[in-house]
Amino acid sequence: MAAKKTDTPQATAEVTPEVAPEVTIETVPTPAGDARITWHHAPGAHALLAASHGAGGGIEARDLRALAAALPGRGVSVALVEQPWRVAGKKIAPAPSTLDTGWRALWPALEKAGLPIVAGGRSAGARVACRTGRELGAKAVLALSFPLHTPGKPERSKADELLAAGVPTLIVQGGRDPFGRPEEFPELPAEMELVTVPYGDHGFGLPKSADLDEPAALALITGAVADWLPRALA
């Protein structure tokens, strides 16, 4: 059964909260070193999005920052997770198994919020969420810029990791992502949705020739996630 590919969402003012969420920071020991969670608390939250970064950057990524600013206004708390290697100031991410170890170890700290958890991340963080989400009890997975393959090497596909997520999954992919353009993805099961950010690269950066700007692209991302969450958690 083919996956549902959603129409390009329209940016709406509803996604932006009127009041900035309360932000707290928590350090969590793991076997891979200390991880760090930056909590963006939603008043009366009904769900939690826990999202980690990729192998080439941190939680300052534009899409993660946009979600942390927008979703608390929709009753969804956001926990931005920094993996131990990043907290330690290292430049190169460790092996996927080590990333999974850190993520599994910090999961109880996320569960203490007492909310349904959506596991997410961008790039390498999306892979971690797909590999561990069902095992840890996540209700859904958000995969931002899923690295389907190494640039220029489509034969080295990571589609199996994505397809094994086993829970409702939203993939948000840039239209010109060298790690996998939307049209390169395989046929997806019904519980997976794919949203395209036109012109976006792996970090959702846009060329000057694009007919949308960065605020519009980020509103597209946050709007798509906000609209998908009720379906995923139903």
Q: For residues 43 and 21, which has the higher predicted lDDT (pLDDT)?
A: 43
Instruction: For residue 213, count other CB atoms closer than 10 A to its CB.
Output: 11
pTM of the shown model: 0.91
Q: What is the pLDDT of residues 147-179, one digit of tens each?
A: 999 998 988 999 999 999 999 999 999 999 999
pLDDT for residue 15 is more than 80: no
pLDDT for residue 9 is more than 70: no
What CA dihedral angle connects 31, 120, 158 and 224, to 10 degrees?
A: -170
Q: Rounded CA gap, 90 and 214, in Å?
A: 29
Decide if 47 contacts 118 (C-beta within 8 A): yes
